[in-house]
Amino acid sequence: MKSKAAMIHGLNQEWSVEEIDIQAPKKNEVIVHWRAAGMCHSDEHLVTGDMVPPQEYWEFMGLKDFFPMIGGHEGAGVVVEVGPDVTDLAVGDHVSASFVPSCGRCRYCSTGRQNLCDLGSQTFIGGMITDGTHRHFQKNGEPVTLMAKLGTFSEYACVATNSLIKIDKDIPLEAAALVSCGVATGWGSATARAQTKPGDTVVVVGVGGIGMNAVQGAKMAGAKRIIAIDPVEFKREKAMEFGATHTFSSMAEALPAVMEMTWGQLADRVIMTPGVLHGEMMGEGMSLAGKGSTVVVTAISPMTSTTASINLFELAMWQKEVKGTIFGSLNPRADIPALLDMYRSGTLKLDELITKRYPLDQINEGYRAMRDGENIRGVIVNG
Q: How many CB atoms lie within 10 A of CB 337?
A: 17
Instruction: Give the three-state DSSP class for 75.
Output: strand
Task: Give the sign of the dihedral formed by CA 248, CA 250, CA 256, CA 262.
Answer: positive
Give helix then strand counts, H and E, for the chain: 11, 18
* Contact (Cβ atoms closer than 8 angstroms) between residue 373 and residue 218: no
**Cα-flanking dihedrals φ and ψ of residue 95, to 5°?**
-135, 150
Indicate which single residue of 2, 13, 19, 27 sits in contact with another protein (rule: CB under 8 A): 27
Residue 143 within binding range of ligand NAD, rule CB under 6 A: no
Residue 207 within binding range of ligand NAD, rule CB under 6 A: yes
Residue 277 within binding range of another protein, rule CB under 8 A: no
Indicate which single residue of 42, 122, 189, 293 sits in contact with Zn ion (rule: CB under 5 A): 42
With a CB cutoff of 8 Å and minimum separation 6, the contacts of 356 are 366, 369, 374, 375, 378, 379
Residue 353 within binding range of Zn ion, rule CB under 5 A: no
Binding mask 107-136 for Zn ion (x = CB under 5 A): --x-------x-------------------
Residue 42 within binding range of ligand NAD, rule CB under 6 A: yes
Indicate which single residue of 3, 5, 25, 28 sits in contact with another protein (rule: CB under 8 A): 28
Residue 258 within binding range of ligand NAD, rule CB under 6 A: no
Taking CB under 8 A as the criterion, which residues in 103-132 touch another protein?
Answer: 103-107, 109-114
Query: How many angstroms separate the most distant Cα atoms in the chain?
Result: 65
Alpha helices in the chain (DSSP H): 41-48, 55-58, 173-178, 184-188, 211-220, 233-242, 251-261, 279-287, 312-317, 332-344, 363-371
Query: Which option in Zn ion, ligand NAD, another protein, none does residue 117 bind, with CB closer than 5 to 8 A by kind?
Result: Zn ion
* Nearest to ligand NAD of 42, 102 (CB atom): 42
* Nearest to ligand NAD of 86, 192 (CB atom): 192
Residue 185 within binding range of ligand NAD, rule CB under 6 A: yes
* Nearest to another protein of 167, 228 (CB atom): 167
Residue 335 within binding range of ligand NAD, rule CB under 6 A: no
Q: Rule CB under 8 A: which residues touch another protein?
A: 27-28, 85, 87-88, 102-107, 109-114, 331-335, 337-338
Give contact residues for ligand NAD (rule: CB under 6 A): 40-42, 45, 181-182, 185, 205-211, 229-232, 235, 273-276, 281, 298-300, 325-327, 370, 373
